[in-house]
Structure 1
């Protein structure tokens, strides 16, 4: 039998270099590697469907001079080995090259005879110049005969033959030997992945260049997969909102689903298709887990075969774990839901049990939640003490989002405990308390008695959420329950002890025990070590800074507040997890020292953090500071209006602070009557209440009542330095009113001495004009008085931290009057990244606007 080829279009297509698609991106880095590879005997291009293998080789082939010999053979599924070698011979003939066969040469139907391969190899050996032969689609040829023939020809053809093989899987050649001998150039799937620059060119096409955020989103979603990017680019042309398309995972999945279902899933044998559908519900799949989900003993072998044929399944090096391309996984899930919607939750639940049995509770919770098995998910969370990291570790699994869809009426204590923790993670102490009471009732009625983990979880939640400051007993109970934990459990949860100390300190602060709260927060900071406790360290330092500021220890407050912000920046804590406590503390320092611009900047800086508005104590602190700032600026009515704004239910101590702020604003407005009425509603407040009440009585013309209050406040152990400075000023004012100017000056001097170490300016600036009159002759205290009451120079403003190099670059562009979008384009950053850098700049320079940032930076010689 002989093979003859008529001049038909099918043959021409098989032997022609494929036509380049419109909008093809020339990828010079890969073209150069292909050129280098064809200087040797063998180049292998492998990758998944749509990875750009053929497009790359065709682009390279078409760029070669016409005189450079090249034969291209495209293989189809129904090509026999005999037909394949006949196509090779015909390709050589059409290029005018010796083929080792002539017209009418016998070619066996079932296999290429060894004699013909010998003649073909001899023909290649006689070539005067190098010849490149590209075989596209080698994986489509059934059996090993073509692979064996290529191996024979490669090893006997001499140096003139340069073979380029394009395949979805490794050919049956001794690649390990070729590598060792330096005879093989490989371009693999990872090499074919588009770079950011290449993706931008492809997505831009003939239209305007997409913005950086669109490129980054689609590049991350497709992981540089060429077909996925091209299909997304085509879909974007048809949408009026490219950015919305890029942000939507569903849109990009729809753009490529038909391709993946047809080219990848449908191309697999039935057992492999079933495995892909069942395991595609997972982000990662272990070989044993695949066997559990499919019931097949050959699951691992099937996964290995899927890896070998580049079916978007990737092994994790050194393990028996595998991952799917994220787009392929989403397509598999959507396809499974359309075919068998009842199967997906069952698979998740089965996976949850497999993870739990394997000692991986976090993954078990995720899978149980995905399968709607909320009771199992909650039980695992409580049993394995995962409520603590849910509250204290950003990005921990599980998170509050894991339980967002959990029904509220589930029986048992564990779901109620988890629901309480989720509310507390959103700073909803009241909601936490409601669910916690339900859990505690169920724990009391539990049979058998609850485990220590259940009790410890409940006690920690009570300690952290209790609004009444009854924390000592709960803290002791938590410590006793922690003694029952195994060494492994304690080592695995380093956040529990600092969380207990932090909660105890907050309870003490709510009870008004400021000194005990500061001691407890220092213990919490000391107990924090390593990455898992970074958020707790940030929060504890911020609360400690607030407590320092409340105690009048401004230098320590500034130190601890700055350290808190530094921890947040160093560990990249997200805004949703950060605390506003440190910014509030630094604002308090700035208010007390009269640096009003810095105070405003820090108050603006803490606004994006959830606890600033949701946590009752911090929300109260922010209202108080805004009111004090308004008073300092002479805006009395603004100060009163701020305090009328709604706030979460607060502790008695926080209520007292609001009353003091309200009374102070009224006194600044010349209204002692309102101040007396407001303070009458706080019969047992902190010493600051007595101080302001005394100021109100003195302003109302009742010096005797004022002095009785002064004497009582002076004996109070909890009186702060700021309180004692105000008490000295009260005695000075009373003495002046009584006509004893010498005694008044002496008291004013004592107030200056007490205020000077911490630069407590606000008591003097708010005391009234009588202080300026009295300060004309302070007998050696005049310089100190001027330092306290003079307006701080701009160069004295609080600079929290040096700007990073990237922040300096952003600030330089801002100084050129560029918009946020223009800065992003200039520095090749996303707009959101630029906004993050701007917030850091404002915070570090203690400003709230662009222009102020530029001015401050020039004053400090940063620009």
Structure 2
């Protein structure tokens, strides 16, 4: 007999899907629950006994009225239910129920749907009673076709046989959705479910939804290709879906907010929804998105209630003691908790999608970053003394297994600064700290170390951290303190301390002489380091060379600096030294550009940018040297607009302000570009940069450019005054001074300077072009036009290989006048006449590769990074690398600008 069902409240959906669109209204109890099915059978009159079955367990949940369907997943569900089994698993709040509910209500299934939401107390008899009642409500069974379980604790096998036989007779597909299947106690239900599924025929389509895989023979279904699986990683929101969700709760967020929240939640549906609701009520939504603490607070209650509190006591203990770590090994978990079954617990947590997942190919496990932060905050609140103790114990565990980087990181997190710094110095970890971003330990690792931490190692690490932040004075002060302690404790000072101190002394040397002495000392000490240790630290030799090259650049010894930088690039071929290679190539290119080797400069600047793109070096760690080198090439080739674009890019990078060589070069190139454009006052403003102390090379460059600006204003005396302040300057100073004297009508003072510069070993190609022009101009002023033309041809021939245009444009109109009378030698200046005029837009540094063109075409179609990766069958990181290359080559920094620029250049 069928009993009347009492309609209860609409059940809760476990998490929203995506905000936006409208769903059709619920058809009501009198209508067919699914299009194309018969109305449910009516029960007896209201005076019959109440039905013990709950109607809400058989009702399709109502999603949030503002949900938008995620088409990629809805289509997968439709495809999956063409076969016998679809399994959807994911942790709390990943949107499993909401996804299937929106699929059902939007007309996705190809036949009637029976929905059953399960609870912990659903015994086998109760489970099958609900299944049978759902089938009857859909008009698929008569009252006496199968029967009813006799008791809630079990079910007769004959009933399951009759049920399978009845389902086998169905002529159209039936979708049976079992939601929260993992809540079922025991395995009796699964045995019956397996029997019915295997004998019910092709019409039955099971959709199993839960936090972990059901104990069914899924491996057999995978082998047969008869299962469709949607996992937690598939349920994660894409950036585009996250943007849609966030738009549904308030003003449309900008791309930065979407990126931040998506990265922080890793696409977790409930996390995004909770953050969106909290952000909608925040005074400054953007500040909320940037704050990890605010994000953590928004989801804390949910995670503590739905995930942590739902675990048994042993699992909660393990989560609280190990969740403070970025990842955990079962042996480490056992060491921290004293639980011998730690591996079993971790495996169970991962299987239940409790925000713990295995690291592929290893025995390690990682925690969702938000969950880890919530666990850390909860532990600090409940047992504040336990967190530092766990970090310190973890440090010893890592150190005992030779994992020094992790040991240092954990010791620092536990506030054991002396142990952390001792490990870092003893294992030569200051080198990685200085050589590359993302190294462990990093300067950030020691950012909270007290300045008075005792010990030589602590002082050396403090000095290295100051140097990593470009604080040379702070490095020298702490290094001096460390060296005093090393002298006092000489018998106990080991080779690692001596080598670390020598390397730091080299990198903060005040002049090139001190740097050369320190570089020699580092090389000598490295000879005493065991070979296996040298292999583990490939960054020390390129760091030594890089430090020496930097000192030579500051001193203005460009030729020697170039030789050392070339050696640095060869020595830094290891992936761990990618940042050093990027910076060395950029500085090599800049030295080449200053010396007039523009082709080599362009090649090495491009290589520097490619290294940064290929290794994903973040903007805050990138060097401006390559962009400045390209700006220098553009200025010398008469393209001031292109130079200005490169200068704008360079100014966004931190070392264009912190490095004295780059800071001075930026001012020089900005002034030269302004002078080429006729903006003389802007050039003087750019040259307001004071000459850096202890850097004679950049000081001389600034003086030469100030003289050029003064001559452009017709003020040779000011030019002479600017240059005479430079003592022991390079030949370019003598060339500029000779030009100023000649402009002032003092050829007697100019000629000796010209002769000295012509004989100097350090004279560059631009200097030789200018010297020939000065000789030509002097002869012209003396009335000797034949000699003047001979010298002009010499200048043109010297400049032609590198297309050096600027010396001729800055020389004055007399050059064009004289060139007009070359007669038979007119072809000598054809290349100068054919030089392309500077364009108003930026030049393309390098042609786009075929793959970059493909990626750019997808960007133009407004596709997300994930969608591009899926369509081109690439990893997301590879797509990001291609995007960075596109931005660099098109001289832009955003997607929209890249598309517009590509259309201007007819690339799209």
Q: Normalization by structure 1: what TM-score?
A: 0.85
User: 2:632: which partner in 1?
Assistant: 588
Q: Residues 617 and 651 of structure 1 are in contact (CA less than 8 Å); yes or no, is this contact kept in structure 2?
A: yes
Shift of residue 370, structure 1, vs aligned partner:
2.3
Checking the alignment, whether the CA contact within 8 Å between 1:597 and 1:846 is kept in structure 2 is no
State the shift of 1:828 in Å: 5.1
Alignment partner of 1:227 is 2:267 = no
The structural deviation recorded for 1:422 is 2.9
Structure-2 residue corresponding to 1:189: 232
Partner of 2:369: 326
2-structure distance, mates of 1:703, 1:338: 82
CA contact (8 A) 1:615 1:648 kept: no
Using a 3 Å threshold, how does the CA distance of structure 1 residues 782 and 424 change in structure 2: closer, same or farther? farther
Correspondence 1:402 to 2:445: yes
> Pick from 823, 832, 847: which aligns with 1:802?
847
Q: Distance in 1 between matches of 2:174 and 2:881?
A: 56
Counterparts of 1:199-348 in structure 2 under 5 Å? 199-205=242-248, 213-239=256-282, 243-348=286-391
Q: 1:349-388: CA deviations, max 9, x gaps?
A: 2222222222222222222232223333333333333332
The answer to which of 578-587 and 646-655 deviates more is: 646-655
Equivalent of 2:469 in 426, 448, 455: 426
Superposed CA RMSD = 4.3
- Which of 392, 407, 411 lines up with 2:435 in the alignment? 392
Partner of 2:758: 714
Is the 1:100–1:119 Cα contact (8 Å) retained in structure 2? no
1:591, 1:762 within 8 Å by CA — same for their partners in 2?
yes
**Mean alpha-carbon deviation: is it higher for 386-395 or for 350-359?**
386-395
- Identify the residue that residue 556 of structure 1 maps to in structure 2: 600
Aligned with 2:767 (options 723, 727, 731): 723
User: Contact 1:617–1:650 (CA<8 Å) still a contact in 2?
Assistant: no
Secondary structure of residue in 2 paired with 1:77 = coil
The alpha-carbon distance between structure 1 residues 503 and 41, as it changes in their structure 2 partners (threshold 3 A), is closer
Deviates more, 1:710-719 or 1:16-25: 16-25
Structure 2 match to 1:371: 414
Tell me the distance in 1 between the aligned counterparts of 2:420 and 2:401: 15
The CA deviation at 1:469 is: 0.8
How far is the alpha carbon of 1:11 from its aligned partner? 2.9
CA deviation map 1:711-736 (0-9, x unaligned): 33333222223323333344444445
> Offset at 1:774?
4.8
Which one of 413, 421, 424 corresponds to residue 381 of structure 1? 424
Structure 1 residues 424, 87: CA separation in 2 closer, same or farther (over 3 Å shift)? same
Query: What CA distance in whole angstroms lies between the structure 2 residues aligned with 1:684 and 1:778?
Result: 38
Are residues 141 and 445 of structure 1, via their aligned partners in 2, closer, same or farther at CA, if it must alter by over 3 Å? same
1:732–1:744 CA contact under 8 A, matched in 2: yes
Alignment of 1:505-520 (within 5 A): 505-520=549-564
Structure 2 Cα separation of the partners of residues 422 and 170 of structure 1: 48
1:336-735 matches, cutoff 5 A: 336-470=379-513, 471-646=515-690, 648-735=692-779
Q: What is the rounded CA distance, in whole Å, between the counterparts of 2:223 and 2:890 in structure 1?
A: 59
Greater CA deviation, 175-184 or 320-329?
A: 175-184
Deviation at 1:282, TM superposition (A): 1.3
What is the aligned length? Answer: 845
Shift of 1:296: 1.6
Question: Aligned residue for 1:169?
Answer: 212
What's the secondary structure of 2:707's corresponding residue?
Answer: helix
Give CA deviations for 1:718-758 in whole Å, capped at 9, x if unaligned: 22233233333444444455555544444444444433333
The offset of 1:211, in angstroms, is: 5.5
Do the aligned partners of 1:551 and 1:721 also contact (CA within 8 Å) in 2? yes
For the residue of structure 2 that corresponds to 1:394, the secondary structure is coil
**Aligned partners of 1:23 and 1:206 also within 8 Å:** no
Find the counterpart in structure 1 of residue 162 from structure 2: 122
Going from structure 1 to structure 2, the CA distance change for 1:181 and 1:634 (only over 3 Å counts) comes to: closer
Check conservation: 2:462, 2:478, Cα contact below 8 A.
Answer: yes
Shift of 1:640: 3.3
Aligned CA distance change for structure 1 residues 193 and 754 (closer, same or farther; 3 Å): closer
C-alpha separation in 1, matches of 2:839 and 2:130: 82
User: For residues 102 and 670 of structure 1, do their structure 2 counterparts lie closer, same or farther at Cα, with a shift above 3 Å needed?
Assistant: closer
Alpha-carbon deviations, 1:786-839, whole Å to 9, x = none? 6447864358997521146798799999xxxxxxxxx98946579xx9999999
Q: Distance in 1 between matches of 2:210 and 2:887?
A: 55
Distance 2:539 2:110 in 1: 71
User: Which one is further off, 71-80 or 659-668?
Assistant: 71-80
Shift of 1:403: 2.7
- Residues 735 and 767, structure 2, Cα contact 8 Å, conserved in 1: yes
1-structure distance, mates of 2:207, 2:882: 49
Give the secondary structure class of the aligned counterpart of 1:766. helix
- With over 3 angstroms needed to count, the CA separation of the structure-2 counterparts of 1:849 and 1:718, relative to structure 1, is farther
* Distance in structure 1 (CA, Å) of the matches to 2:816 and 2:280: 72
Name which of structure 1's ranges 226-235 and 338-347 shifts more when overlaid on structure 2. 226-235
Q: Judge conservation of contact 1:587–1:625 (CA < 8 Å) in 2.
A: yes
* Residue equivalent to 2:22: none
- SS of 1:76's partner is coil
Asked whether the equivalents of residues 122 and 157 of structure 1 are also in contact (C-alpha less than 8 Å), the reply is no
**Larger displacement relative to structure 2 (853-862 or 123-132):** 853-862
Scaled by the length of structure 2, the TM-score of the pair is 0.81
Judged with a 3 Å threshold, the aligned counterparts in structure 2 of structure 1 residues 738 and 285 are, in CA distance, closer, same or farther, namely same
- Mapped partners of 1:34, 1:845: distance in 2: 41
CA contact (8 A) 1:69 1:132 kept: yes
Q: For the Cα contact (< 8 Å) 2:519–2:548, is it kept in 1?
A: yes
Q: Where in structure 2 are there 5+ consecutive unaligned residues?
A: 6-48, 867-876
Matched with 1:817 is: none
The match for 1:816 is none
Deviations 1:206-241 (A, max 9, x none): 877665555544444333433334434444554565
Range with bigger deviation, 392-401 or 608-617: 392-401
In 2, Cα distance between the equivalents of 1:118 and 1:451? 82
Query: Could you say if the C-alpha distance between residues 152 and 410 of structure 1 is closer, same or farther in structure 2, counting changes exceeding 3 Å?
Result: same
From the superposition, tell whether residues 177 and 572 of structure 1 become closer, same or farther in structure 2 (CA, over 3 Å). Answer: closer
Quote the residue 2:45 is aligned against: none
For the pair 1:112 / 2:157, whether they are aligned, the reply is no
| Distance change >3 Å, CA 178–CA 687, structure 1 → 2 | closer
CA distance, structure 2, for counterparts of residue 861 and residue 153 of structure 1? 62
The answer (yes or no) to whether the contact 2:664–2:689 under 8 Å persists in 1 is: no
Preserved contact between residue 90 and residue 353 of structure 2 (Cα < 8 Å): yes
Quickly say closer, same or farther: Cα 1:852–1:784, change in 2 above 3 A. farther
Q: Displacement of 1:393 after TM fit? A: 2.3
- CA distance in 1 between counterparts of 2:83 and 2:598 reads 73
Residues 289-298 or 527-536, more deviating: 527-536
**Contact preservation (8 Å) 1:497, 1:527:** yes
Relative to structure 1, the CA distance from residue 125 to residue 33 in structure 2 (aligned partners, 3 Å threshold; closer, same or farther) is farther
* Distance change >3 Å, CA 27–CA 733, structure 1 → 2: closer
The 1:379/1:239 distance shift into structure 2, 3 A limit, reads same
